[in-house]
A and B are shown apart, each in its own frame.
Chain A
């Protein structure tokens, strides 16, 4: 007999929960910088946050190669993703449709694929687990489609140099990586069109 590591349960109602998470993510992407809460998962496999697990259950399946940063690869998280998502787990973020990482060790945005001119939707969506998200008071200033004037945002625990790479990512439009920040059950989505001005001391 093969003893499996503990597999945490997925959504209680796979159809309705996935729909509601998808709807929330859609809202979050339409209004970059606003914090949305994802319900559906309370008990996520360590070290994934509940919102990360909910996003994976909603977005990831056998058609979407997934890259997971080494620090997030535990027996428990891999068993959860293999069982519930059935996704191929690959070694390089460059071929991934979705990539999971933590904020302090986020991969270089240039190592993810920005898509092609003819197929910009084939880019990687990077899901980053942070130490905290705060809207309205943060040191980041967000502009772009979906934002009337500016939004303030703070992302805790992010590695230095990230926002410089984000600026380069924005210049690749229509290609480019999309970004989802996660903390607990909170998500903030930054599509490639969002322009971020970081305070010099935080970037």
Chain B
């Protein structure tokens, strides 16, 4: 039963899978208020049924020291997941960190719509692109703040 699961950005993935990973990641990392505001601004929304109500669980996160060392368990994080089906059959999944059930459901609905080629571009422009821009911004800000506290230690070389 053990199937090899492709990890992030493995070469055997199709471009469709990589695209979906990107928007799922954007939806998961987005601020819920931002996502909700953008969602409420959308003109037309399909109806959906919740096939797996949002549920809260734990996921073990793993890391590698320096990105290259042995894999180790970093700790468990709370994750909320949800699955929905749109009225025309597309199934969407939402996995978000934390306990926000609405966030998981909204992420699942957006994932389902993004799988519909005819609606993808409009939604990409209206929702995914602004969210990922905001995320990039906040990442840059955080990086800048951290960088401004950097201290350069230097040692006087004696006897030179």
Q: Give the interface of A toward B (CB within 8 A).
A: 1, 3-10, 12-14, 62, 83-84, 88
Q: Give the interface of B toward A (CB within 8 A).
A: 1, 49-53, 55, 83, 85, 88-91, 115-117
**A95 shortest CB reach to chain B, Å:** 14
Q: Which residues of A contact B89 (CB under 8 A)?
A: 3-6
Whether B90 contacts A83 by the Cβ 8 Å rule is no
Whether B117 contacts A9 by the Cβ 8 Å rule is no
Whether A9 contacts B49 by the Cβ 8 Å rule is yes
If A1-B117, A10-B52 are given as contacts, then 11 extra A-B residue pairs at C-beta distance below 8 Å, sorted by A number, are A1-B116, A3-B88, A4-B91, A5-B89, A7-B91, A8-B51, A9-B53, A12-B53, A13-B53, A14-B55, A83-B83
Nearest-neighbor residue (CB-CB) of B83 within chain A:
A83
- In angstroms, Cα B1 to Cα A5, docked, is 25
Q: Chain A's interface: helix, strand, loop or mixed, by majority?
A: loop
Residue contacts A-B, CB under 8 angstroms, 14 given? A3-B88, A3-B89, A3-B90, A4-B89, A4-B90, A5-B89, A6-B85, A9-B51, A9-B52, A10-B51, A10-B52, A14-B53, A83-B52, A84-B52
Q: Which residues of A contact B83 (CB under 8 A)?
A: 83
- In angstroms, Cα B52 to Cα A9, docked, is 6
**B99 shortest CB reach to chain A, Å:** 16
Q: Which residues of B contact A88 (CB under 8 A)?
A: 1
- In angstroms, Cα B115 to Cα A83, docked, is 18
Interface centre among A1, A10, A88 (most CB of B within 10 A): A1
- In angstroms, Cα B91 to Cα A3, docked, is 8
Nearest-neighbor residue (CB-CB) of B52 within chain A:
A10
**A6 shortest CB reach to chain B, Å:** 7
Q: Which residues of B contact A6 (CB under 8 A)?
A: 85, 89
Q: Which residues of B contact A12 (CB under 8 A)?
A: 53
Q: Which residues of B contact A10 (CB under 8 A)?
A: 51-52
- In angstroms, Cα B90 to Cα A13, docked, is 23
Nearest-neighbor residue (CB-CB) of A43 within chain B:
B49
Kindly identify which residue among B1, B49, B52, B115 contacts A1, using a CB–CB cutoff of 8 Å: B115
**B53 shortest CB reach to chain A, Å:** 6
- In angstroms, Cα B115 to Cα A1, docked, is 6
- In angstroms, Cα B1 to Cα A88, docked, is 9
Kindly identify which residue among B50, B52, B53, B85 contacts A4, using a CB–CB cutoff of 8 Å: B85
Q: Which 10 A-B pairs have the closest CB atoms?
A: A3-B89, A1-B115, A7-B51, A4-B91, A9-B51, A7-B85, A4-B89, A1-B116, A9-B50, A1-B117
- In angstroms, Cα B1 to Cα A9, docked, is 26
